[in-house]
Amino acid sequence: MLDDEPHISFKSLFIPFTTIKAALYIILIGILVFGNMLFNGFVWDDKTFIILNPDVYTLNIPYLFGQNLFNDTVYYRPIPATYFATLYSLFATNPFPYHILQLVLHIVNTILLFKLFSSFFRKNISFILSVIFLVHPMQVESVSYIGQTVSPLFFFFGIVGLMSLTKINKYRLAKFNGLLLLAMLTKETGIIFLFLGSLYTFLYNKSKLLLVAATSLFAVVIYLFIRIFIGNVYFAKSLLIAPIANIPLQERLLSVPSVIFYYFKTFFFPVDLGINQHWVITSPIFNNFYLPLLYNVAILALIIWIGLLCFKKSEVMFKTYIFFTVWLLLGLAFHSQIAPLDMTVADRWFYMTMVGLLGILGVGFELLPRNKLIYKQI
């Protein structure tokens, strides 16, 4: 070997660690982890919403924004209806393109999340957190189950809009509110980005808070106008058939500790994953009520402890802590069964919420002393 031949070391693959390198690694890892699902067929509700659904056989935009299988008294989701109708008009019942686009969307979301994390944390920490989001087993429903393209789709609209608020001008404000509207028309929980956008502005650009909040509410008004006057889809009593949706609030509250703990437990110890979960806690005992409640209190105490450390050590990091803690709490609140849902728990409902928990972990990593051997080992 000649002395002047270039030498590529393992270290050079990561140092300097650039955004382009991170994006390339995220693409590679995403394909390696989820590539085997590209050859799967349609499963579960895919058949109801796509294969056996004449609503998507024709790309009729006015109809897809009106009353159909995607839009009823509980849900109003014309963007997914349009998405699936477009794909059906192009690929009919060939599942491969559906899977490809869903995986691409998840990978793009991860790259965007890396950029968002990089505005708060160092690149190496941001990359680790983003890769966890990319490959976590809880993401399988959102990435492999075609019918749930809705989760990465509304997240894409929301995170792009949120990132536009780093510098606020007329164009960026219009972009945020347009994407907020698309997120809400994709999934009802897209409204969380309204609160996150207002919170971000309050923390980092307080003088623009009233402007952002007011225009965001205008986006909600437009959403309601489209839903009620164009779609003729009103808000009515839930017609969900899930057991937990057909019991009063005071009875649903018995399941809340177990519901919240399910997401924490599955995030940190993702085994025995399942779908279509309809369990309900009717008789509180130690194992199904008090023990999950104790675990939740312990996790909350840990989160508060991290917040106290931030408050003492860094005002900048404390703002980051507040932002991601509220992100986590909002995501949990919307899926805790205070308002009844069509299942008790579902991994796909943690797709967006996971970012809040990862952000809190990122704050914890940033607080570790940088000159300690244990940090280098981690």
Q: If you ran DSSP here, which 8-state letter would residue 51 be given?
A: I
Of the candidates 108, 109, 100, 99, the residue with the CA atom closest to the CA atom of residue 46: 99
CA dist., res. 65 & res. 79, Å (int): 8
Rounded Cα distance, 39 and 37, in Å: 5
Prediction pTM value:
0.92
The counts of H helices and E strands in the chain are 17, 0
Site of tokens 């500790």: 257
Q: Does residue 103 surpass a pLDDT of 50?
A: yes
User: Residue 374: what pLDDT?
Assistant: 58
Minimum mean pLDDT range among 26-30, 233-237, 292-296, 312-316: 233-237
Residue 16: cis peptide before it, omega within 30 degrees of 0: yes
Residue 5 pLDDT > 70: no
Per-residue model confidence (pLDDT) at position 312:
86
- Whole-number percent of the chain with pLDDT over 90: 70
Distances (CA, A) of 342 to 15, 244, 279, 375: 47, 8, 12, 43
Q: Which of 48-62, 159-173, 235-249 has the lowest mean pLDDT?
A: 235-249
CB 77, CB 232: distance < 8 Å: no
* pLDDT 10s digits, 269-316: 998 888 889 999 988 899 999 999 999 999 999 999 999 988 888 888
pLDDT for the residue numbered 68: 87
CA dist 302 → 18, 167, 333 (Å): 32, 33, 19
pLDDT band at 257 (very low <50, low <70, confident <90, very high): very high
pLDDT at residue 294, rounded to an integer: 96
pLDDT at 31 over 80: yes
For the stretch 186-219, pLDDT in tens is: 999 999 999 999 999 999 999 999 999 999 999 9
What local confidence, expressed as pLDDT, does residue 1 receive?
45
pLDDT at 345 over 90: yes
pLDDT at 4 > cutoff 90:
no
Asked whether the predicted pLDDT for residue 3 surpasses 80, the reply is: no
**Among candidates 294, 236, 284, which has minimal Cα distance to 71?**
236
Place of tokens 């939740």: 296
Q: Nearest-CA neighbor of 22 among 88, 104, 117?
A: 117
- The pLDDT of residue 368: 78
Query: Residue 371: its pLDDT value, please?
Result: 60
pLDDT for 367: 84
Cα first-last separation, the chain? 36
Average predicted confidence (pLDDT) for the chain = 90
What's the half-sphere exposure (Cβ side, CA atoms, 13 Å) at 161?
30
d(C-alpha 80, C-alpha 265), whole Å: 30
